[in-house]
Structure 1
Amino acid sequence: MVVIHAIFFNFISLNIQAAELTVDVIDMTGLPVENAVVYAEPDNPVAMPEASATIEQRGKQFNPLVSVIQTGSDITFPNFDSVRHHVYSFSPAKTFELKLYSGVPTSPVKFDKAGTVVLGCNIHDTMVAFIQVVDTPYFTKSNKLGKALLRDLPNGGYTLKVWHYALAKDKEVVEKKLQVKESQPVVMQVSLKPFILPARK
């Protein structure tokens, strides 16, 4: 069982180049936190190329726990377990189900609306995963060291956003307006409420 009591997000832009943002994610004790989704939405719309992703089922768990994709992306849900799974989501951003199956489904699932999608399995209650669908090609996740890096952002105005599954229900994301340009640091901080994840074996 994983219990997250509170988390602080520190966003620090180390602008060696104008279009690079480095994000440090730490908890209230200063330890790094992984699986925070960080993304930058440009003030001016940009083209988003077609993309796809995969969420595996192994050991009666989804892998990865957290995914981030751009709007319009397809996700494939292969089941590598010896038992069948029934993958579903009731989230407003995407409601779907893949009834009991093994192997690779015939067709991927398209995610065409921005927002948070929570995955579950009708057979195994401990299976949970999160998908953050974003309206931008500029996104990343923090790694085990709490580091997240946004590369190749053209100079200009952005809304920098952060999402984590431990955010309070009344706050879908935390955001800040910024101008990406040389030698301009960005600092943000927010605490999160307690959150309990099912045990991941």
Structure 2
Amino acid sequence: MRRAYQTLAGLVMGLAANAYGSTLVVHVDDGHGHPADSAVVTLQSPGGDAPAAPPATATHTIDQRNETFIPYVEVMRPGEQVVFRNSDNTRHQVYSFSELKRFEYVLRPGTSSPPLTIEGSGIIAVGCNIHDEMITYLFVTSAPARVTGKDGNAQFEGLAPGNYQLRVWHPQLKPGDQGARLEAVVAEGSPAAPLNVHLTLLPDPRASMDREHMGY
């Protein structure tokens, strides 16, 4: 499996405006200069400098609207729950064959699945047995994690100076590509600059949705 490794020795991030520490900004693009949204950036530090993640108490909701799972990627912690809601006017059959969690729900319009608890860490691909282009991903991790927005940016705040390891993953990576792994050094009192990450991504599979036959 091909892994993209980058070492950014001496990468220095400035202090955030608040008093809680430094801010690390990660910018992800698709390898052609276009911002890559829905990339997951996880942060780890052997020295314990990473901000603590919140307790695993949340219930996440994955909606289905216009025959699309919303959001495309959802970050969860082990032990948290997820609910699938059908806001469409057509039936959906939500399923996953993931080794981490296998499940299947038939959802009529306006209904929701029971809360599903996800134990362990990993990536769960979720589809619809009726509409093949519908797909979402549950990224389950105990590490602090952020999902890039439309601008391709993910931001971590409140960091103490130290060495950090980052992983950048995207659902449209080529098969076998585990994404980028980076090492960064955060030091106090220097100008902030984004950390740029380049990924090679496949076309968005949701773009091939046959909207002409929506609602059947």
TM-score class, shorter-chain normalisation, is 0.7 to 0.9
Distance 1:82 1:47, change over 3 A: closer
Task: Give the equivalent residue in structure 2 for 1:139.
Answer: 145
CA contact (8 A) 2:30 2:201 kept: no
Q: Once the 2 structures are TM-superposed, how far is the Cα of residue 164 of structure 1 from its aligned partner?
A: 0.3
The alignment's C-alpha RMSD in Å is: 2.8
CA contact (8 A) 1:24 1:146 kept: yes
One-letter amino acid of the counterpart of residue 40, structure 2: V
Task: Give the equivalent residue in structure 2 for 1:192.
Answer: 200
One-letter amino acid of the counterpart of residue 120, structure 1: G
Task: Give the equivalent residue in structure 2 for 1:113.
Answer: 120
Q: TM-score, with normalisation over the residues of structure 1?
A: 0.79
One-letter amino acid of the counterpart of residue 205, structure 2: L
CA contact (8 A) 1:70 1:134 kept: yes
One-letter amino acid of the counterpart of residue 199, structure 2: S
Report 1:1-201 matches (<5 A). Answer: 14-17=13-16, 18-43=21-46, 44=48, 48-49=54-55, 50-105=57-112, 107-136=114-143, 138-182=144-188, 183=190, 187=195, 189-199=197-207, 200=209
One-letter amino acid of the counterpart of residue 149, structure 2: N
Matched position secondary structure for 1:81: coil
CA contact (8 A) 1:13 1:20 kept: no
Deviating 4+ runs (over 6 angstroms):
none
What is the rounded CA distance, in whole Å, between the counterparts of 1:145 and 1:112 in structure 2? 31
The count of aligned residue pairs is 191
What is the rounded CA distance, in whole Å, between the counterparts of 2:63 and 2:148 in structure 1? 20
What is the rounded CA distance, in whole Å, between the counterparts of 2:205 and 2:113 in structure 1? 30
Matched position secondary structure for 1:97: strand
CA contact (8 A) 1:155 1:179 kept: yes
Distance 1:105 1:154, change over 3 A: farther
- Deviation string for 1:6-45 (max 9, x for gaps)? xxx9x97642234311011223332222111111123249
Q: Once the 2 structures are TM-superposed, how far is the Cα of residue 48 of structure 1 from its aligned partner?
A: 4.1
Q: Once the 2 structures are TM-superposed, how far is the Cα of residue 108 of structure 1 from its aligned partner?
A: 1.1
- Deviation string for 1:60-98 (max 9, x for gaps)? 111111212222221111111122211011122322111
Q: Percent identity?
A: 32
What is the rounded CA distance, in whole Å, between the counterparts of 2:181 and 2:53 in structure 1? 22
Distance 1:112 1:153, change over 3 A: farther
The unaligned stretches of length 5 or more in structure 1 are 1-8
